[in-house]
Amino acid sequence: MFESLLIELDKNLGSAERMLSRVPAHACTTAIQSMCVQSYIFLTHAAFEYFIEEVAQEAVNYATKRCKDDQIITKSLLCLVTSNIVNAPADISRAALNEQVTRNLLDSAADYKRAFNLIKRKNNGIKAENQKNLLIPAGIDPEVVDLTTFNALNTYGDKRGDIAHTFLAIRTECTKSSVLTDTNIIRLGLDLYVAELRRSAADRF
């Protein structure tokens, strides 16, 4: 699972890094150099956002398929079901939720997959809330899996938001060295997210 998405992520990160080939490591002295660094942040942020959305989708698809095809209930499936119960609208009674789940887990899983698809379509970012909204239904709590990666993504999301409002300004705090360090930390941490998603998909109940 997820191999093609990891390959695509690395390709996208590598393509973005080529923008920095003429930028000094530790300082931006011209507006063009600063724009290259900021563009790199935009592109890598988009790559991370897409990756998180798609690995979560793949995990949800796999969990519901195993339930439908093989009648196997995995940790991923239970996370999908329970996260939807926890986040159900206040006007839905607990009894109605219980009946929805117990009447037929196969039908319920399909309903909750559709609910997840809506969450994914509405997602816009990689900050803490975005990560949890996508990954908890897929089988992991990213904050528990690796706090460093969780916080690094959240900070990178803040950074992307900040530069969106000052794109043409020279930003001395955003250097080639610092942003490459940021993305390397995140990239390594995403391997930990993927490993835990695989474990969640394999755990049976």
Distance between CA atoms of residues 84 and 26, nearest Å: 46
Model pLDDT, residue 29: 86
Model pLDDT, residue 108: 73
Model pLDDT, residue 181: 97
Model pLDDT, residue 139: 94
Q: Which of 26-30, 48-52, 173-177 has the highest mean pLDDT?
A: 48-52
Distance between CA atoms of residues 67 and 108, nearest Å: 11
pLDDT > 60? residue 159: yes
pLDDT > 90? residue 2: yes
pLDDT category, 133, cuts 50, 70, 90? very high
Model pLDDT, residue 204: 81
Distance between CA atoms of residues 172 and 28, nearest Å: 6
Model pLDDT, residue 81: 83
Mean pLDDT computed over 164-179: 75
CA-closest candidate to residue 108, choices 117, 121, 120, 99: 99
Backbone φ and ψ of 121, nearest 5° = -65, -30
- What pTM value is reported for the model? 0.89
Distance between CA atoms of residues 116 and 133, nearest Å: 9
Q: What percent of the chain is modeled with pLDDT above 70?
A: 83
Q: List the helix and strand counts (H, then E) for the chain.
A: 9, 0
pLDDT digits (tens, 9 = 90+) for 7-39: 999 999 999 999 999 999 998 888 889 899 999
- Name the more confident of 93 and 21: 21
Query: How close are the terminal C-alpha atoms of the chain, in Å?
Result: 20
Arithmetic mean of pLDDT over the chain:
87
Report long-range pairs for 184-187 (Cβ below 8 Å, ≥24 apart): 185/148, 185/149, 185/152, 186/48, 186/149, 186/152, 186/153, 186/156, 187/9, 187/10, 187/13
Residue 26 amino acid letter: H
CA-closest candidate to residue 159, choices 141, 181, 174: 174
pLDDT digits (tens, 9 = 90+) for 56-85: 999 999 999 988 888 888 889 888 888 876
Q: What DSSP string describes 141-203?
A: -HHHH-HHHHHHHHHHHHHHHHHHTSTTS--TT--HHHHHHHHHHHHHHHHHHHHHHHHHHH-
